[in-house]
Structure 1
Amino acid sequence: MVASTHSNLPDEVVAFRQRYPQARTVDLIIPDVNGVLRGKRVEIEVIEKVFIDGVNLPGSLFGADINGETAEATGLGFDIGDADQICRVVPGTLTGVPWHPQSMGQVLLSMFDLEGKPYFADPQHVLAGILERFTRDLGFTPVVAVEMEFFLIDRQRAALGAPQPPISPVTGERERKTQVYGMAEIDDYSAFLGDVADACEEQNIPADTAVAEYAPGQYEVNLHYTPDAHAACTHAILLKRIIKQVAWRHGMDATFMAKPYDALSGSGTHVHVSLLDKDGRNVFSGPDAYGSDTLRHAIGGLMATMVESMALFAPNANSYRRFRRDSFVPLTPAWAFNNRTTALRIPAGPDHARRIEHRVAGADVNPFLLTAAVLAGMHHGLTQRLDPGPPVQGNAYAQLEPCLPDTWGLALQALEEATIIPQYFGEAFVKVYLANKYAERERFSYHVSPLEHEWYLLTV
C-alpha cells in the first residue's frame, strides 16, 4: 500500500525548510474520487507534526460529488457521524508552490483508518492493491506514462456562460483555427508553457513535451514514463494543478472538461503502459510490431473489462459528449498497431519500447482510478491468458459497431453489474463510487438547460 513516512521524516522536512526558508504555509492535498484536490492549508510550524502524526480529515471526503457535497448514500456522512480518518504524507511529495505570490509548500496525503489500515475508499490505495497483485502474481512492474489534453479558455465567457477560446497574447486575436501540432500556436503561448515547465521542474514533475491539439486553445503536456505507477498518477494530478494555476496567472482559465465545446474536439487522457520482468526486460517485446503473447493477453483483458470500466473512464454527464464517430475517441473495444481509431493502440517505435496506449478516458478522469482500471484489466488478461482476437486494419469506425456504454446511466449500470472490476477495486469501493455517481446524476437530471428553453419554451 502507499508507504508510511516515519523513516524519511527528517530529510524531507529539513530539505524543504532549507530550500524555502521564507515559506509560511503548506497545502495538505488529497484527491477525491473525481480527482478534485481537497485538504487544508496549515502554518509551516505544523508540518513536522503532520509528518509524524498525520492529520485528521473526514472519510466523507470520498463521498463528495463534483460540487463537494456529500452523497449520503455512500454511507460516509451522517451514517457514521462524518467520522475522521487519519491522512499521512506520501513520501517525496513535499515541494514548493512556485505560482503563489508568497513562498509556500504543498504535500500529497493518503488516507488510513484509525487502526492504521489503508482507507478502502481512497483511490490511491485501490491502485496500490492492484500493483501488489502484479508483483505477487506475475513478478511484473508496470511502467506508466499519462497524457492529458486540456483547453485554455478566456475568463470572459460567451453567451449563457459558455466557454470561448482565449485571445492570443501575441496577435491579439481570438483563437479560431484548429492547427494540430502547430508551432505558431506553441509560440503564441510560449510564456505560459515556459512557466508550466518551470513549475514542473521545481516540483520534480517529469513533463517533457507540449503540443497543440485538435481545437483552438487545446494543448497537451506529456509526462515521462516511470516504473512507479503511483508516482505517474501523482504527477498527472499535480500537473493539472500547475496548469490551472499558471493559466490563471496569465489571465486565462484552463479546463480539463471532457467536452467543453459542441463542435470542437474533446479532451482525453491516454495511458501508456509496458511491463518489466524482474530482470528489467520489457515483456511486451516480441518478434514483430504486434509484440509478444504477453502483450496480447494484456490487451485481451483490457477488452474484456472495458465496458464495465466505462463509469471510471467517463465519470460524469459531460464525459459522454466526447464519444462520437470519426473523432479519435473509441466507441468499441478493439486494438491495432499504430492506429488512433482504436481503443487500444500499439504505438510505432523500437521493440524494446513496445507498449499499450489506452485511449478511452476523458481529461476529466481521476488518474488513479483510470490507471487502476487499466492495470486491473491487464492483470485479468494475463492471469486468464485471454485472446484479444485479430487487430484492426484501417478505420475502426467503418468496420465496428459502437458497443461501449454511451450514456452515464448505461455506464453506471455496467459497473453495477460488473463481475471483474469489483474483484480488483473491492466491493466496498465500488459501492461508494456508484452511490456517489448515482446521487450526482440524479441532481444533474433535475437541471433545466438553456437548450431546453430554446427548443421547448415557446414551441410546445
Structure 2
Amino acid sequence: MSEWLMAHPEVRTIRVAASDLNGQPRGKRIPTRFAGKVESEGTRFPISALNLDIWGEDIEDSPLVFEAGDPDGVLRPTERGFVPMPWLEAPTALLPLWMFHEDGRAFDGDPRHALARVMNRYRALGLTPVVATELEFYMIDDSSTRLRVPPSPRSGKRRPGADTLALRALDAFDTFFTDLYDACEAMDIPADTAISEAGLGQFEINLVHQADALKAADDTWLFKMLVRGLARKHGFAASFMAKPYDDYAGNGMHTHFSILDAQGDNIFDDGGPRGSDALRHAVAGCLRAIPGSTLLFAPHGNSYDRLVPGAHAPTSICWAYENRTAAVRVPGGASAARRIEHRVAGGDINPYLMLAGVLGAALLGLEDKAEPPDPITGNAYELDLPQMPGSWAAATDAFERCPDIRRIFAPGLIRNLLLTKRQEQRFYTELSHEERIELYLDTV
C-alpha cells in the first residue's frame, strides 16, 4: 500500500478513474485494502468506456464496441498518485489513471495520452512549455426551474447583479472559498488568485504557471471536479458550462503559455515588448489551427451560445498585444515573462484535449516557421476578420478536414471524437432548452 494511504488510515475506500473524451471521470470504487493491487497491477475496464457520449451511452457504430468485441484496456496510475476527495462526506481518495493496451502500448483514444504525445514532441526538440489555466465558473441555485445566484451564507441575501472584481462578492462566500483553497492545498492544485467576474454569481480562479503541461491539465481536470463537488457540499451548484445564463457572460478557460529552451530561457523573449520570431511563429500556428480546433475549445451544444460578438468571448481569428477582444493575446509585462494567452476555450472543455490542441498548434507554427497576419488594434468585433466556425456542426466538419489536427492527434482519437460529437448532435436537437441546461450544468 502507498505511503499516502498508510499516512491516511481514515480512508476506507478509494476511487480510480480516467478521463473520457468529454472530460468525464470514468472508473470504480474500491475498498482501500485492495488499493495495493491497483497501484502495482492497474485495473481493467472496457476501452470503449473512454469513448462514451455526454449521457454515458455507447457510441453507435463505434469500432471499439461490437466490431472489436468490446475488449478491456489496462488502466495504470498516472504520476499523480492518490489525492483526497474533500467534497465527499466519508474520507476518500482518488487515484487518477490512464489507459493502455494489453501489450503495454498507450491507448491513443485516451485524451491524456494525446497531450503526452505533444509533450514528447516538445521534449525531442529540447523545449518545455510553461502553462497556466484560468477557470471561470458560476455558483448557481438550481433548486427550482429558474437558475439563480445562491443566497450568501453570511447574509442570507442574493446578489442582485454582477459585480466585477468585488471583494464583497468573494466575502459573501468566504466559507466556500476557504474550504476550496484548503482542498486545493491538500490535492496539490496550485490555486492562486480568485476574483468575482462579469456574470451573476460568476468567479474566476487562476492556477499557477508550471513547466509540466500534463500536471497543468491534471490540475485543471481535478479542480473542476473539486469545485463542482464542494459546491454541492455547501448546498448549491457550481458550473463550468459555457453559457448558463442568456443575459450574462459565458465561462471561459483561458490558457497562458511560454516555452523554455534547453538552457531554461524563454524563447518568446527578445528583450522588448513585441516578442521574438518564435513568438510570432507560435501565434501563427495557433491562429491557423483555430478553425479545426474550435471543436476542442467549444465541444458542446451550449458552447456556441458563448461565442457571439460582444459577449466577452472571441469570435474572430486574430491576435493582438494587450487586447482582450482578440482570440490570441500577448500580455504586457516584463520581457522575461513574455507569453501567449489563448482565449477561445470555454469552461466546458476537456483540459487534456484543449491543451494538446493549443500547444500542438504552437509547435506546428514553430516547426513551419509560420508567419501570422499583422496584430490588430481596436475592437475585434467591429473589424472585417476571418471568423471561427459558428455552430457545433460546422466546427465538427472543420475538425475532420483540418490538416493540422491530423498532425497533432492520432487517427483513432480523431475518429472517436467525430463519432461522439455527431451522435450528441443528433440527440441534442430533441431536447428542450431546460433539458439542455440540465444536461450540462453538473457534467462539463
TM-score normalised to the size of structure 2?
0.95
> Is 2:298–2:345's contact at 8 Å kept on the other side of the alignment?
yes
1:457 aligns to what? none
| 3-state SS of paired residue (1:76) | coil
**Aligned residue number for residue 120 of structure 1:** 108
Rounded to whole Å, the distance in 1 between the matches of 2:94 and 2:378 is: 47
CA contact (8 A) 2:271 2:336 kept: no
1:335 to 1:274, Cα distance in 2 relative to 1, 3 A:
same
Residue of structure 2 equivalent to 1:93: 81
The 8 Å contact of residues 361 and 408 in structure 2, kept in 1 or not, is answered as no
Give the AA of the match of 2:204.
E
Quick check: 1:146 aligned with 2:117?
no
C-alpha contact (below 8 Å) 2:317/2:385 kept by paired residues: no
Q: Give, as a single letter, the amino acid of the residue that structure 2 aligns with 1:106.
A: L
Q: 1:278: which partner in 2? A: 262
Q: How many residues align?
A: 435
Tell me what 2:297 maps to: 313
Residue in structure 1 matching 2:29, options 16, 41, 51? 41
**What is the match of residue 324 of structure 2?**
340
> Which of 216, 232, 235 is the equivalent residue of 1:232?
216
For 2:439, the equivalent position in structure 1 comes to none
| Distance in 2 of aligned mates of 1:402 and 1:292 | 25
Answer yes or no: is the 8 Å Cα contact 1:258–1:363 preserved in 2: yes
1:187 is matched with 171
**What letter matches 2:249 in structure 1?**
S
**Is the 8 Å Cα contact of residues 167 and 175 (structure 1) preserved in structure 2?**
yes
Give the secondary structure class of the aligned counterpart of 1:221.
strand
**Contact 2:26-2:50 at 8 Å conserved across structures:** no
Establish whether residue 441 from structure 1 lines up as the match of residue 422 from structure 2: no
Identity, in percent, stands at: 37
Q: Which residue identity is paired with 1:440?
A: E
Quick check: 112-121 or 323-332, which moved more? 323-332
- 1:135-177 deviation digits (Å, cap 9, x = unpaired): 21x32101111111100001312xxx34221112223222221
Counterparts of 1:123 and 1:162, CA distance in 2: 35
Structure 2 counterpart SS, 1:145 = strand
Q: Kindly provide the CA deviation profile for residues 217-273 of structure 1, in whole angstroms up to 9, marking residues without a partner as x.
A: 101111111111000000001111111111111111111110001111100111111
| Paired position in structure 1 for 2:375 | 391
Is 1:59 the equivalent of 2:47?
yes
Q: 1:449 to 1:181 in 2, by over 3 A?
A: closer
Q: Which consecutive unaligned segments of at least 5 residues does structure 2 have?
A: 436-444
Q: Which amino acid aligns with 1:143?
A: V
Corresponding residue number in structure 1 for 2:207: 223
The answer on whether the counterparts of 1:73 and 1:436 sit within 8 Å (CA) in structure 2 is: no
1:74·1:431 contact (CA, 8 Å) conserved in 2?
A: no
Give the match's secondary structure for 1:222.
strand
Asked if the contact 1:74/1:433 (under 8 Å) is kept, the reply is: no
Secondary structure in 2 aligned to 1:201? helix
Residues 1:429 and 1:180: Cα distance change in structure 2 (over 3 Å): same
The partner residue of 1:172 within 113, 133, 156 is 156
The match for 1:156 is 143
* AA at the equivalent of 2:418: L
The AA in structure 1 aligned to 2:128 is: T
Deviation of residue 450 (structure 1)? Answer: 6.8
2: CA distance between counterparts of 1:391 and 1:19? 54
C-alpha contact (below 8 Å) 1:312/1:373 kept by paired residues:
yes
Aligned counterpart in structure 1 of residue 404 of structure 2, from 403, 407, 420 = 420
CA distance in 1, matches of 2:154, 2:386: 42
CA separation in 2, counterparts of 1:209 and 1:114?
A: 43
Render the CA deviation track for 1:57-97: whole Å, top value 9, x for unaligned: 11111220111011123322222222110000012331222
Write out per-residue CA displacement over residues 287-331 of structure 1, whole angstroms, 9 at most, x where no aligned residue.
Answer: 421211100000000011100111111001100000111222111
Equivalent residue number for residue 442 of structure 2? none
What's the offset of the Cα at 1:338?
Answer: 1.1
Matching residue of 1:3: none
1:385-427: per-residue Cα shift (whole Å, max 9, x none)?
1111211112111223451001001000101111111121022
Alpha-carbon distance, 1:337 to partner: 1.1
RMSD in angstroms over aligned alpha carbons? Answer: 1.4
Indicate conservation of the 8 Å contact 1:154/1:253, yes or no: yes
Contact 1:154 1:166 in 2 (8 A): yes
1:293 equivalent in alignment to 2:282: no
What residue is the counterpart of 1:31 in the other structure?
19
